[in-house]
Structures are given as structure tokens and as C-alpha cells.
Structure 1
Amino acid sequence: MASVSVSHLILFIASMMIAASVAGVFTSSIGQLSGAISEQGLDVSQDVRTDVEVISDSGSDAIYDSGNITLYVKNTGTERLAADPGQMDVLVDGQFVTAYEVTRADGNGAWQPGTVVRVEIAQSLDPGDHRVQLTVNNDEEVFEFRL
């Protein structure tokens, strides 16, 4: 009879140790998952608050001048953006462009909501239809014009 009690006691202790180790693993995994969800929530929040609009006139002769495309882009969202080339991705006629500059139209620092930046893209174009795609924090804007 005593041998049955001892074996039950050993099985009980072993099952408690296994349960404690499983609980420790779950606690650690849930903590990591919670952190990842918080980070993703911040990224999505930034994407939602970002909105830009190309305000250049597609019929204007000022869009293209001897190898340079000049666009004016307004920050219509609520997110403060950096007025630098690292803030946006630029594609001209489907080709990724790295040779471009971004400056505030009034020359004052950051790209606040409601302000305009000038995007100057060094790109030679042939006569015809052209398309510029700007992507800022997953907000895509397409500007089409003809030379």
C-alpha cells in the first residue's frame, strides 16, 4: 500500500514540474507576442496617419525641364514626415529612382501636415506619356503627365 502512495507522489511531483515548465514557456512566448503586436500597431498607426497628395498640374510645362522632373507634394495627413529622400520611394515609368532631392517649398525644416515639398527627380525622358509613383509610409500616389 505504501508503494502505491510513493509512486502516486512521484507521478504527482513529475506532473507538477512539467506543468510549471510549460507555463514558463507559454509566459515567455506570450510576452514576445505581445511586444510584436505592440510594434506592429505603431507601424500601422503611422501608415494610417500618413497621406500625401501630388498637387502639381499635369498640364504644366514646369513639370519637366531638361532632364529634371519637378513635383510638388502636400502632406495632407496628420503624421509629421522628414523632408528627405529616405522618406519616400520614387518610381518613374516603373523604374526605381535614387537620384532625387526633397526640399520644403518654403525652405523650413520638417514636412509638417499641411505643408508642401518640392521633389526634384533627375531623369531624362522621351516625348510621350509618363508616370511617377511616390510611396510614403505605404501611401502610394501616382502622377501622370505627357511631354
Structure 2
Amino acid sequence: MADISVPSLILFIASIVVAAGVSGVLIDTVTGISNSVDQRGGDVSTEIRTDIEVISDADASVYNETSDTLTVYVKNTGLRTLPATSGGFDIIVDAQYQTDVTTSVVDGAEWRPSNVVRLEITNLDLTSPDDHRLKVVVDGDEEVFEFYVS
């Protein structure tokens, strides 16, 4: 009887030690995954609540050839207040990143939902007549505006 119980006891203790080690690794892995999902969920929530729309008329004269300035109006159609500073926007015109951007909120002090921002992009040299493309990116939301310079 003692011949069977000692090896069984050793195997039992070994299996408990292995199970404890495996459970420790699994708990650490699940905690890491859970934290990643929580963080990504917050990022996705912010992106979902962010929405913009370029409301300028593509047929109107949005480009002033004399001053080489493009003026467009962008409406906050999302659910949260967005930054209305030139650093809060990524502006790309005809595949060229633009840094000479001036922003101003048209109807208020902050760019709240339903408010409009005027973007003035200067130092452009757009060929005319030709079709052009403007891409506006704010907090991960992007909008494309196509216009014609005659």
C-alpha cells in the first residue's frame, strides 16, 4: 500500500505545482489582453463621437488666385467639442501636406457640435483650370473635398 501512495502523492504535488504555474501565466495574459481591450475601446469611442463635414460648395469659388488662398468651411457633425486650432487639423491639398493654415470658429468661441470652422490655407499654387482635392483630418476622422479651379 505504501508503494502506491508515495508515487501518487509525488505526482499529485507535481500536478498542483504545474497547475499553479500555468494559472499564473494565464492570469497575467488575460489581464494584459483586458487592459488592451479597455484602452482600444476608449480610442474607438472617441473616434465614433468625432465627425466632420466639409460644407463649402464645390461649385463656388473657394480658391482665390490673387492671394493663393483656399477657404473652406467645416462643420462639426459629431458629438463632442473638437480643437479649432491649426495644429488640430491635418490638411492635404493635392497630395501635399499643408502647414500654412488659419482657423476660426464662425459661430461661437469653441468648435462645438453643429458649429462651423473656416479654414484658410495660404501659400498654395494651384494650377488652373484643373480639378483639385482637399483632405481634412481631425482626431482620426477624415473628409475629402473635391473642387475645380477655373
Question: Shorter-chain TM-score: what band?
Answer: 0.7 to 0.9
Counterpart secondary structure, 2:60: coil
Deviation readout 1:69-97 (Å, 9 max, x if unpaired): 11110001112211123333221112222
Aligned to 1:68: 69
**8 Å contact kept, 2:108–2:115:** no
Aligned to 2:56: 56
Q: Percent identity between the aligned chains?
A: 46
Counterpart secondary structure, 1:130: strand
**8 Å contact kept, 2:76–2:113:** yes
Tell me by how many angstroms 1:15 deviates. Answer: 0.9
- Which has the larger displacement, 86-95 or 12-21? 86-95
Counterpart secondary structure, 2:59: coil
In 1, Cα distance between the equivalents of 2:107 and 2:42?
A: 30
**Structure 1 unaligned regions, length at least 5:** none
Aligned to 1:129: 131
- Which has the larger displacement, 81-90 or 46-55? 81-90
In 1, Cα distance between the equivalents of 2:103 and 2:18?
A: 59
For these two proteins, the number of residue pairs brought into alignment is 145
Counterpart secondary structure, 2:84: coil
Aligned to 1:18: 18
- Structure 1 residue runs of 4 or more that deviate by more than 4 Å after TM superposition: none
**Structure 2 unaligned regions, length at least 5:** none
Scaled by the length of structure 1, the TM-score of the pair is: 0.87
